[in-house]
Amino acid sequence: MIETYNVPHALVHLFPSELVNELQIDMSFRGKQIFKWISIGAQSFHDMTDLPASLRQSLAERFPSLYTSTVANTFIDKQDGSAKLQIKLYDGTLIESVLLVDTQGRKTACLSTQAGCGMHCAFCKTGTLGFLRNLESYEIIEQYYHLMNNFGKPNNIVFMGMGEPLLNLPNVIKAISIFTAHDGLQISKRKITISTCGIVPGILELAEQHIDVRLAVSLTVADDTIRSQLMPINQTWNLYTLKQALLTYQEKTGERITLELPMLSGINTTPECAYKLVAWIKGLQVQVNLIAWNHVDELPYKTPSSKELTDFITILKQHNINVVQRAKRGRGINGACGQLGRIKQE
């Protein structure tokens, strides 16, 4: 028997004028009030104390919750303060969202854009799940509010959770428009990053639309043979095609691009791989982020040694490439890069 679900009346993705229409209320300024309340984390119309009591009551009866999703489980990493939420969507699907906390106490919300992922990157737990569906814009936005309501307002947003953001770009762009609204959350676009495994049409669309958020590309390795083995997307858009798209993006936006390299011991950590990366980067303005591979039980890779990483970094620095070794955060709760992986209830 196939289960069916009623699509919920979502509100968090609506601007004030859209709220007025959806809620069927007469006065336009009420839409602005409600929009503001949602942006500070109100979860019920009963919380909106500057609305008339009769209006609060009638809206609460029609919309018992402002959210279509609920937090199913919460995990806290006692080592570094990171947190992971397993969030249950209206149709029973589970996704995961992470809050990363750096040594200065700055909080970054790591949001999912799909349930599962169809990219099948060999080193990523989420890639083993397969693709279930795209998330709606309100399902992306609600992740932020769940993190905010549980742990305080995040300073930054990265679309680096489950799924490939550029394969769900309209909903990602809608979410960004809500996050950055001047009468709402007011998050600077400079504090928002979209991470992609290399979806060339999406990169070019970002450039054309001037979304003005930061772009990160999971490059992994600048060798077509190795990258195709690790990242099947390279068989569709190889390193040459990807670089041409990034050059176009850089020309149209003037922005520096972040290249992310999950480092797999003995695979992409060799001096040869470092020199190939140096050659491939030529002509691009980039920062290279090295991420020591985060362990996943069922995957056959190893985290590199300190010496492997140091030697790799030394080569890049010798060629004046800006390189950062990312701190290990969220590993204790399987919330680090490449470790997210639950889309079904047990």
Residue 257 neighbours by CB under 8 Å, 6+ apart: 215, 216, 217, 246, 249, 250, 284, 285, 286, 287
**Neighbour-count burial of 102, counting CB atoms closer than 10 A to its CB (0-12 exposed, 13-18 middle, 19+ buried):** middle
What's at 346, amino acid-wise?
E
Catalytic site residue from 96, 139, 142, 308: 96
- Say what the alpha-carbon torsion angle 38, 71, 179, 171 is, to the nearest 10 degrees: -120
Q: How far apart are CA 15 and CA 20, in angstroms?
A: 9
Tokens for 31?
Answer: 């839409």
Q: Would strands 257-263 and 214-218 be described as parallel, antiparallel, or unpaired?
A: parallel
Identify whether 121 is a catalytic site residue.
no
Catalytic site residue from 142, 260, 337, 346: 337
Identify whether 96 is a catalytic site residue.
yes
Contact (Cβ atoms closer than 8 angstroms) between residue 253 and residue 295: no
Tokens for 60?
Answer: 């609460």
> Phi/psi zone of residue 52: left (φ > 0), alpha (ψ -120 to 50 degrees), beta?
beta
Tokens for 134?
Answer: 């795209």
Query: Known catalytic residues?
Result: 96, 337
